[in-house]
Chain A
Amino acid sequence: MPRIAWTALPKGVQEHLLDRVRIRAIDAKDLTALLAWVTTNPEVPDGPWCKDFGTFKLVGHGRTPSAFLEKNQPCFGERI
């Protein structure tokens, strides 16, 4: 399985996440869990995948993360 290419996350997606954090739509503890997870240099499936952090979800395809979903949006792809 490939390892996540975290720095490939588009700048606009990064900024959107920080906007959501500022208005508390994303919990500080969940964002910290994301940092802890990314730091492990995780393996991700070859196809579409989804990782649930509680107040948000991260989705991607293969090694490339692509977007953050809101808490109430359903996961698609393989749950990791």
Chain B
Amino acid sequence: MTLVQFLEELERSKQVVVIPSEEVERLAERFGSNVRAMGFRNKTGNGSVEIPMGNITEAVQMLGNRALAEAVEQLKSPDQFAGMLSSSSAASQLIEQLSKLHLRQFQRTVERYQDSSDPAEVEQLRLDISRELFGA
């Protein structure tokens, strides 16, 4: 499978990596608080972090690290991601990139919320922002 096919497959499958709360805190202790910003953080629930697989591959591509790209392509399931992070020498770069990407996506959502004139879209974006910011 080529990288493009791999990315298309990810886009179709909408796979999400869920890192459980204990793992998030363990990684945050090692790599810093950016770990909590890598994806949607379940603030009112169990404290887990959800990262779309598409974001992971995009972040890896941005970094241009071949070894990291191969490690991500070889993931058999989303559950293996936290383990891969723990063993990768480029983990802190990937965490920082994922965190930047996630915050940029949030800012774009807020800008769309401000720009939209479609009441249904405004309502949906408001819910998305509220969920992201307040967990509700």
A-B contact count (CB 8 A): 55
Q: What does the 1/0 interface line of A6-39 toward B look like (CB < 8 Å)? A: 1101010010001001101000110110111011
Alpha-carbon separation in the docked complex, A28 to B122 (Å): 15
Tell me whether A22 and B126 are in contact (CB under 8 A): yes
Interface of B is mostly: helix
| Residues on the A chain within 8 Å of B114, using CB | 21-22, 24, 28
Measured CB to CB, the closest approach of chain B to A1, in angstroms, equals 15
Interface of A is mostly: helix
Q: Which residue of B lies closest to A38 (CB)?
A: B133
| Residues on the A chain within 8 Å of B106, using CB | 32, 35
Alpha-carbon separation in the docked complex, A33 to B105 (Å): 13
Q: What does the 1/0 interface line of B111-136 toward A look like (CB < 8 Å)? A: 10110000000100010011011111
Alpha-carbon separation in the docked complex, A24 to B116 (Å): 12
Query: Assuming the A-B contacts A14-B130, A22-B122, A35-B103, are A41 and B33 also in contact, with contact meaning beta carbons closer than 8 angstroms in the complex?
Result: yes
Q: What 14 new A-B contacts, CB under 8 Å, besides A14-B136, A21-B114, A28-B107?
A: A18-B126, A22-B113, A22-B122, A24-B114, A28-B110, A29-B107, A35-B106, A35-B133, A39-B33, A39-B36, A40-B33, A40-B36, A40-B37, A41-B36
The 6 A-B pairs at the shortest CB distance, nearest first, are namely: A28-B110, A40-B33, A32-B107, A39-B37, A39-B36, A28-B111
Give the A-binding residues of B (Cβ under 8 A).
33, 36-37, 41, 43-44, 103, 106-107, 110-111, 113-114, 122, 126, 129-130, 132-136
